[in-house]
A and B are shown apart, each in its own frame.
Chain A
Amino acid sequence: MHQQLTNLSDKELISRARKQDREAEGVLMDRYSHLLVAITLPYLDKAPKPDPNIVFPTLLQRLSASLKTQTIYKANEWILHIQKGYFNNPDKNIPFYPSRDGRDLLHIENKVEKAGTNIIDRQDLAVRLEQALQRMNADDRDLITQFYIDNKSFADLTAAMGITREKLRNQLKAAKGKLAKLYMNQGYV
């Protein structure tokens, strides 16, 4: 059972966890546990030095509680939100809600996923994305083309552009967001 659950997608696990399937919930938590630990490490070294034996169970409890009540489109965003919320304001439980940009991205990702192996759909999507890409400014278009289509790594790009990896990533993320927005608003142009 456990083996079968590990092969399931986040979406499926979340829907199962909502139906009181504790095992599915466990598999989902297990899948993200190392990332949770990694992002929590800096907080553990900070001033109040919280006890990891208290922090992690509490975090898991919060995650478990919100899993049953909240709409979760992306597990990674949800976990990060809960973790940040816990350390920034431990007393307040801020519900997770995806941003507008996030939903645009999610929409296009779902479309791409839905197109799957359907050549016609994929062609159509590709054409529309190309059109959106053409409307972007040159810098962003170049960045996206180099990174996604020319398969250049972070290291290559940072070396070429002379910027840090973090900055590069932020630029890439912003460019992607713009592309998504252009794609979504294509009908209005």
Chain B
Amino acid sequence: MFSSKPNNEKILKVFSGIRCLSKDQLPRYMEGRLTDIEKHLVEQHLADCDLCFDALQALEREAGNEQYQELTGKLQRYIHDSIQPVSHVHKVAQYTKKEKTKESLLVYFWLIAFLVIGIASVYVLRGHLRNQPPPPPRMLSAAQPPAKDSATSPSGEVTNQPIVTAEQPAPAPGHHTAATPATTTPATKPAAPATTAGQPATAIPVPVRPTAADSIAKAKAAALKAQQKKHAADSIRKALALQKQQDSLKKEKEKGNDSDNKKPEPQPEPKQEVKEPAPQPKKETPPAAEPVNSDEYLYKAAMVYQQQGNLGEAIDRYKRIAANSSGKYAEMATYQLAICYRSKGQMGKARRLFREVIRMDGSLKNNAQQALDSM
């Protein structure tokens, strides 16, 4: 029945929350300077709020408002002074704290990072020093098959002879003196046979590796040391003497042919032998790539001469290899000698040498037979 009355919602006012009297409302209420609505609201609140009613009573009892005004002002200033700076100081402190933690974390991070980098670099350096000149994988793979070939052949144990280790002392002086004239004299007249032979020397790439430093040679020798343990002492001495001379020779030669040297490892001789069948030179390449001993260096030097068209020089070297060493390199040298003679046009000599290769019964027997048949 009450709900139909228009003022029924007015009853909600009984329980409507009203804010406490503000700083200027209080004196105005006391002086009766409020509007009716405002006054009513204030009185509604005063009915509820002990704080405001107490304050009102206290102020009415006090004669002068001065103390109240003064203290209020002071208190508000005090609150402002104490709260604001503190909050600001608090914020600054928090910020600096955060920054400090960040900084210290960064410092730790860099410390650890540098430590790790240092340790890693030491590791890497040590590893690098241990295997300083890493053996080129191509050379090793190329070196493997011929060693097996020679092992199967009857002269297998002799092929391992010409190993030069870095620790080996210098060879006997007699060999030195004997070898020097032999090698130096051809070096003085390198171009003469090439012109007479008339072969296209420009098209031929040089098989010699660009880095022919002594250290590399030593390292290679050390790497293959385990493989080859038996070797004859005299051949070593010879080989050493020859190797040193060949090295110096090679360096001289290579200075002129740097651009050609950059080509990795194509075996040049097959290109030179146009008449020869394709499979033959491919078989020859592996032994040529083996960088182990002095026979090989000599052989390679001879090959270089051969490819440059300096057939006389090459023949000289091949002859020396065939005479001094035995086994694989002797066979290969003889075979190459035959090829040189053939390209020079001395067919009789070439035939005789091919026959000799066949007689040796090595890995090049078939190639020699083919060459002989095609002549």
Q: Which residue of A lies closest to B25 (CB)?
A: A34
- Residues on A with C-beta less than 8 A from B223 are none
A129 within 8 A of B: yes
**Pairwise interchain contact B51-A79, C-beta atoms closer than 8 A:** yes
Q: Which residue of A lies closest to B75 (CB)?
A: A33
**Pairwise interchain contact B71-A52, C-beta atoms closer than 8 A:** yes
B17 within 8 A of A: yes
**Pairwise interchain contact A41-B39, C-beta atoms closer than 8 A:** no
What count of chain B residues pass the 8 Å CB interface test? 55
**Pairwise interchain contact B75-A37, C-beta atoms closer than 8 A:** yes
Q: Which of A141-189 contact B (CB under 8 A)?
A: 144, 147-149, 151, 153-154, 166, 169, 172-173, 176, 179-180
Task: Report the Cα distance A15→B260, complex, angstroms.
Answer: 85
Secondary structure call for the A interface = helix
B44 within 8 A of A: yes
What count of chain A residues pass the 8 Å CB interface test? 61
A22 within 8 A of B: yes
Closest beta carbon of chain A to B79's beta carbon, Å = 5
B83 within 8 A of A: yes
Contact with A along B57-70 (1 / 0, CB 8 A): 11101100001100
**Pairwise interchain contact A80-B61, C-beta atoms closer than 8 A:** no
A62 within 8 A of B: no
Task: Report the Cα distance A133→B87, complex, angstroms.
Answer: 49
Task: Report the Cα distance A129→B61, complex, angstroms.
Answer: 37
- Residues on A with C-beta less than 8 A from B13 are 148-149
Partner of A41, one of B12, B16, B47, B67: B67
A12 within 8 A of B: no
Contact with B along A29-67 (1 / 0, CB 8 A): 111111111111110100000001000110010000000
**Pairwise interchain contact B71-A23, C-beta atoms closer than 8 A:** no
- Residues on B with C-beta less than 8 A from A36 are 75
**Pairwise interchain contact B15-A108, C-beta atoms closer than 8 A:** yes
Q: Which of B221-239 contact A (CB under 8 A)?
A: none
Task: Report the Cα distance A134→B61, complex, angstroms.
Answer: 39
Contact with B along A16-32 (1 / 0, CB 8 A): 00001111011001111
A13 within 8 A of B: no
**Pairwise interchain contact B3-A34, C-beta atoms closer than 8 A:** no
Q: Which 3 A-B pairs have the closest CB atoms?
A: A26-B83, A38-B55, A22-B87
